[in-house]
Structure 1
């Protein structure tokens, strides 16, 4: 299916290039009350977002870390609860790219680059960018930004997906594709694009203040980036290419923020911990990033970020005693970040103290029974300890705060495999792929399960029913191509 779509999308890319290079008059704002779905319906928006997100997952551009993912999701939904509109079904994910950027895809998919969290000085700055992106979604700017030519809309987003596929080995092409999606026909709609940005700023700042963050977080972050542009020359940060910033916009954002009560907002305990996790997971070498954190600590920067980062980097290398020593200051300080006892438990298990580590994970989960990282960390450790039935019980008996995490299905599949339940393993692995947008992968798991002669009649019926359910979600033209392939 991807190969078939690729040929169509590359043709679309050529079409969009020709359209965007032609001279076109600037399009005025649509009349107030004009429905956005005349250009792009909510269903079409969701389909586009799913396709782009699926390609990002497929080519490993999403940094899939349960703890970071939960942090972004919790932060995003905290903001969404205070937005001006009823929030859609947001999906938040971290892009494994060190450059500073964030983007909102049609269908309420919001991506944040790892580089943005590392560049921010405060949690309010990160929240400011996320509130801005959420406003793009709730105001349906992707749909409102289109002209009346439906073909151009479909072709442009097809081109975005094509560029991701064709440039899968080149992050520059992928990020450029996302920029294309955000700046659709930019030359034809400059005034409207600027209006979108100002509207997203206004709504985002209001959301920031209502959610308890520093309302100046957005303005301070963009002002910092604008000041740094002289260091980049022609190589601007990606976020400034997709979200143009000038002194007028910064001044207006600052003026709007000044209209809200000034507050001294401290970063959450998780903010620094997540920055440390990102640094370790993005590092080319665990030993090099360990040396970085050690250097920071030796320079007197005794922050939770550096302490946790060193401990995690040592744990990744299998240096468990050193990791325990590095984590000790955080443990003595009584850090409230749930990631700290989870890391301590992993260190204990690495030291061969499996029962002690499992007991700590169970205690941690009892304290935060709806926290996905605590649930999944305990279940994962139980599977590793050859206690898959207990892991399954943990996964199924704990309700998750913001909906079932994708990795729950992966771990349910792993637990079933460890228990010798092939049909259940294939079923849960199917759900894992399907939730990631990989329909083909989901169907392959079901087909593999159905080929196992030893499964029961009940299991066969269950797999067949799920297969039919998934097939019914696929548009007829795509289904015909999939069946031919």
Structure 2
């Protein structure tokens, strides 16, 4: 929290000279925010996520990341097609989801097109439409330049006040109480003005986000269902486990607006696909609920009446049982649950893929790389979960020559993928290509915007080349070029601070 606040305050110091908006309507017109350039907003987002990447709760789980990012990308594409996302904004911003392992039910938008989603939110949504509704709302905060407009409206306030208000409004802190303390730490009148502006932004994000649902392939009923879920939590729960309610407070006007829009649209929410219930189960298991919860989920398929459950409920229980048993190192029970899962997902291609990915994960943890590769046979070669699992299996077999090319192609198309760069570094290390391995390690640090660490690795590569430890002159030249580029990025970052 302190790191995030420091980043926001440093950005506010640069922007505190921006003149305030002289007039503000009840609902600000879309497109405001020109006072803060797109480049400045992207740099601010990069600064914030550089801290989030170092947070112990940040996680890179390939199946969950792919699933959530896929939903987000569908919404981004819909926003672009509808004209809500202007071409310059689309090109300059990252449009990337970061997952947090925390159990709190929360999500937040950040400058530069970044979106934070906690596993606690994934764990409580009943359908992908509900998850999409939250992400559409947060996406609309970005496309409508709410962050830039927020800074512009607070231009007369001190930089510290600006940073604190942004931090509270975006729920960057994991503690609702801390966020609330930041919000009330300044002048009461300024806070009230900011809250009023935030309510306007919430209504606008509702309206724009709702319009993205159907074009992105999701039922608009997901918006109403999620509002109903949040409203119920608001009535019965005030212990901070639903921080989304703190940063996005429900009002009767917002609820009525969504209900009326749904009544006019007349759409129904379809049942959840099997892949979705499997990802919900994965989120619940991986958000560290404790050994007792894992044991309970591992034993769930043995309960009386389990066979009478619906297919989706059984699939979710099988998946949670297999992954929980895997966390408990109980391979025998994990295999039993996996066998039941594979039987129940028969005929559903997306669910079958997730079952085989889980099976490969189990085999790797059990020290059986050949069996893990067998589970991955027939699955796509160009998708991230399969690519990373195959790499780990081949690394254990001492045979990475067949995967290095695929990894190189992947990072060429996804240079921001730190996990893939690390996998490539391991592959090259095993092949004895030490200079390439060092460069891949450096590129992984660049992907996480840790330019100082990246420079250290690039310089290590230069030292290796000078000592004659590697004869790859082309690679040495690439390292020299990349070092100069990253040093420039570091200087720019320091100047902004």
Structures share fold, TM-score greater than 0.5: yes
Q: Deviations over 1:237-277 (max 9, x none)?
A: 21111111022211111111222241342323321121222
Equivalent residue number for residue 252 of structure 1: 257
Which residue of 424, 429, 434 corresponds with 1:417?
Answer: 429
- After the TM superposition, which residues 26-425 of structure 1 pair with which residues of structure 2 at under 5 Å, given as runs? 28=25, 32=29, 35-38=32-35, 40-83=36-79, 84=82, 85-86=84-85, 87=90, 88-147=93-152, 150=155, 152=157, 155=160, 171-172=174-175, 176=179, 186-233=191-238, 235=240, 237-283=242-288, 285=290, 288-295=293-300, 298=303, 300=306, 302-333=313-344, 334=346, 335=348, 336-337=350-351, 338-350=353-365, 353-364=368-379, 368-397=380-409, 405-425=417-437
TM-score by length of 2: 0.81
The 8 Å contact of residues 67 and 373 in structure 1, kept in 2 or not, is answered as: yes
Q: Could you tell me whether the CA contact under 8 Å between 1:26 and 1:191 is conserved in 2?
A: no
Q: Which residue of 2 aligns with 1:22?
A: none
Moved more, 25-34 or 460-469: 25-34
SS of corresponding position for 1:455: coil
Q: 2:486 aligns with which of 452, 470, 482?
A: 470
Secondary structure, aligned partner of 2:284: helix
| 2-structure distance, mates of 1:331, 1:33 | 48
Q: Which residue of 2 aligns with 1:459?
A: 475
Which residues in structure 2 correspond to 1:427-466 (within 5 Å)?
A: 427-452=439-464, 453=467, 454-456=469-471, 457-466=473-482
Taking the aligned partners of 2:454 and 2:411, their CA distance within structure 1 comes to 24
Cα distance between partner residues in 2 of 1:447 and 1:351: 38
In the alignment, the residues of structure 2 paired with residue 339 and residue 400 of structure 1 have an alpha-carbon distance, to the nearest angstrom, of 26
Q: Deviations over 1:100-133 (max 9, x none)?
A: 1111011111111211111222221111100111
Aligned counterparts of 1:381 and 1:99: Cα–Cα separation in 2:
34
Structure 1 residue runs without a partner (length 5+) = 16-24
Q: Distance in 1 between matches of 2:314 and 2:413?
A: 29
More off after superposition, 93-102 vs 287-296: 287-296
- Structure 1 residues 66 and 127: CA distance shift in structure 2, 3 A: same
Give 1:473 shift: 2.1
- The TM-score normalised by the length of structure 1 is 0.83
RMSD: 3.7
- Shift in alpha-carbon separation, 1:246–1:461, aligned structure 2, 3 A: same
Q: Distance in 2 between matches of 1:458 and 1:241?
A: 54
Q: Distance in 2 between matches of 1:425 and 1:322?
A: 38
CA contact (8 A) 2:104 2:242 kept: yes
Q: 2-side partners of 1:216 and 1:61: how far apart?
A: 31
Describe the SS at the equivalent of 2:152.
Answer: coil
Q: Distance in 2 between matches of 1:8 and 1:317?
A: 39
Secondary structure in structure 2 of the residue aligned to 1:411: helix
Q: Is the 8 A contact 1:413 1:428 kept in 2?
A: yes
- Offset at residue 43 of structure 1 (A): 1.0
**What's the secondary structure of 1:43's corresponding residue?**
helix
Supply the distance in 1 between the matched residues of 2:405 and 2:181 (Cα, whole angstroms): 40
**Which stretch has the larger CA shift, 187-196 or 285-294?**
285-294
Q: Do 1:287 and 1:313's aligned partners in 2 also have CA atoms closer than 8 Å?
A: no
Take 1:178 and 1:57, find their aligned partners in 2: how far apart are those partners?
Answer: 25
Aligned equivalents of 2:119, 2:157: Cα separation in 1: 31
Alpha-carbon separation, structure 2, partners of 1:151 and 1:320: 61
CA shift, 1:469, in A, is 0.9
3-state SS in 2 of match to 1:472: helix
Partner residue of 1:18?
none
Task: Give the distance between the partners of 2:339 and 2:4, measured in 1 at CA.
Answer: 52
